[in-house]
Each structure stands twice: as structure tokens, then as C-alpha cells.
Amino acid sequence: MVNGYQASSLKEALDIRTKENVTPYAGGTDLMIKENENATYLFLNKVPEMKKILENEEYIRIGASCTFTDIIESELAPAILKEAASQIAAPAIRNLGTVGGNICNGSPKADSALIFFATDSKLRLVSSRGERVIPITEFYLGRNKTSLQPDELLVEIFMDKTGLDNYYYKKVGARNALAISRVSFAAVINIENGKIVNCMTAFGAVSDVVLRRKDIDAMLIGKTIKEAKFVKEDYLAAYDKAIVPIRGRVSAEYRKNVCMNLLRDFLQSKGI
């Protein structure tokens, strides 16, 4: 028998989260495979505030309980996120699995989390005490470890409304469908008036957390494509040093080679 509370509003969910030792549960596609007979769940799938995809002047605001199918069908969700969501598992999982659960699982293999890293997205964390908005890079503390406090809920993800159209995304798995990423890579580059004004890259399934190195990507910012070609080898060398893959189902050497090949392909595809 499953023990838990069904919240019908964000306030009710936060009140329960404050008073009880509960595990947040939206789609449950990860939780249902973990046997925990003593767990008490806080069901969030009927909290309206967490089920919407909205926009304001600056951000696309994605509710943490939105499913991957919700994202695929949304007119507001950016194409890079839709592409990643469409490659997650099978339709039945996409119909249940949520972006909030994918993020809060704390896995470096999480497909949607990779996209949020590569787009420098922010997370809105709310408790009865108040709320905080932090970059997703500050949320992950290690493998399966996050900065989410015991009384907090991840309510929304904020993605920039503009600047995400020129992107690159690849997921390398053992098969074409239902694959857990062996290596995944996402990148966004913005070029205005002939100069690179932004470059954001992220690698998944290679370290304890998604790898995002703003300092290295900054090597290309402010340069023309021609100038970027001159620093390309230095840029690649910096990433070659920064990428230190953990061992898993495949060797660290394999992961490293795939990462560097994807990075080179990204640069070449953008004329660098």
C-alpha cells in the first residue's frame, strides 16, 4: 500500500512539505522502480501552479510537474528542449515523467537537465518560508545530491525566451530507443553582427554532475568566426583537459573520445 498526501494547490503542498517527512512525487517514473515501503509521498500531479508552461517578458516558465509530452506539445517550449524530450524513453514514460523529477533526481545522465545546463536556465525553489531562484549549476552538489532543502519544492524552471534557436544536440546511447545516455552533449551559440555573443556547452553522463564550463566557452565570446578558428585548438585543448570522465558501463576513454568528437562536430557545424 502506498502512503501519501494528495495536494491540490501549491500552498497545500508546501504546508504538508513543512509538517511531514515526505518525498515529492509527480510522474514517479524514477521513484516507482525504487523499493521503499516506508516512504510517504507528496503527490504533486494535481497542483495547477506546477503544471503550466507560461511566458513573461524575459523567460519561458516551465512548471516542474510538466511531463515531457507537455513540453513536446507546447508552443512555448524551445526547440532544443523539445528535441531532447522527444528522445526520452518511450511514449508511456514521456506521458508520465516530469522535468522536475528529472532534475531533482540529481543524475548527470538526465536528458532535460542537460538542456537546462546548456541554456543557463534557473530554478525557482519555494517553501513556506519564501522562495529563491538559482542557476541550475548551483543546484547540483554531486551525483544524486542537490541543494533542495527538506521543506522546499522545485516549482518552475526559467529558460530565456530568446537566443536558443542556434543549437546543437546529440545523445549517444546503446540503441536508438529507450536508451540511457552514455554520453550526451548540448550547445547553444549566438552570433550577432558577425561576432559570437554567447556560447554555452554542456556534457552529460561523463562526470558526477553535468559538465558546464563557462570559463572555457568564454574563449570564443566576442570573436568573429574567423577569429574563433584561430583559438579553436586552444579551446579544444582546454576541454580535453577539463573532461575527466568517470567509469561506467563504458570506459572513460570511450566517453572522452565521444565528448571531444561531439565538440569538434558542433564547432564545425557552426563554421568554426
Euclidean distance between CA atoms 114 and 204, whole angstroms: 6
Q: How confident is the model at residue 28 (pLDDT cuts 50, 70, 90)?
A: confident
Closest CA relative to residue 187, chosen from 197, 176, 173, 198: 198
Q: What is the pLDDT of residues 131-186, one digit of tens each?
A: 999 999 999 999 889 999 999 999 999 999 999 999 999 998 654 444 445 789 99
Q: Say what the pLDDT of residue 175 is.
A: 45
Residue 28 C-alpha cell reads as: 514517479
Q: How confident is the model at residue 32 (pLDDT cuts 50, 70, 90)?
A: low
CA distances from 234 to 158, 243, 258 (A): 33, 14, 18
- Phi, psi (rounded to 5 degrees) for 151: -105, 10
Q: What is the pLDDT of residues 171-230, one digit of tens each?
A: 986 544 444 457 899 999 999 999 999 999 999 999 999 999 999 999 999 999 999 999
Q: Say what the pLDDT of residue 178 is.
A: 42
Q: How confident is the model at residue 258 (pLDDT cuts 50, 70, 90)?
A: very high
3-state secondary structure 202-259: EEECCCCCCECCHHHHCCCCCCEHHHHHHHHHHHHHHHHHHCCCCCCCCCHHHHHHHH
Mapped onto helix, strand or coil, the DSSP state of residue 146 is: strand
Q: Say what the pLDDT of residue 208 is.
A: 92
Is residue 242 packed enough to be buried (19+ CB in 10 Å), middle (13-18) or exposed (0-12)? middle
- In angstroms, the first-to-last Cα distance of the chain is 57
Q: What is the pLDDT of residues 77-128, one digit of tens each?
A: 999 999 999 998 889 999 999 999 999 999 998 999 999 999 999 999 999 9
Domains of the chain, earliest start first: 48-160 (3.30.465.10), 167-269 (3.30.390.50)
Q: Which helix (H) or strand (E) holds 260?
A: helix 252-269
CA distances from 265 to 55, 125, 126, 144, 260 (A): 33, 36, 40, 30, 9
Q: Say what the pLDDT of residue 33 is.
A: 63
Do 192 and 204 meet the contact criterion of CB atoms below 8 Å apart?
no
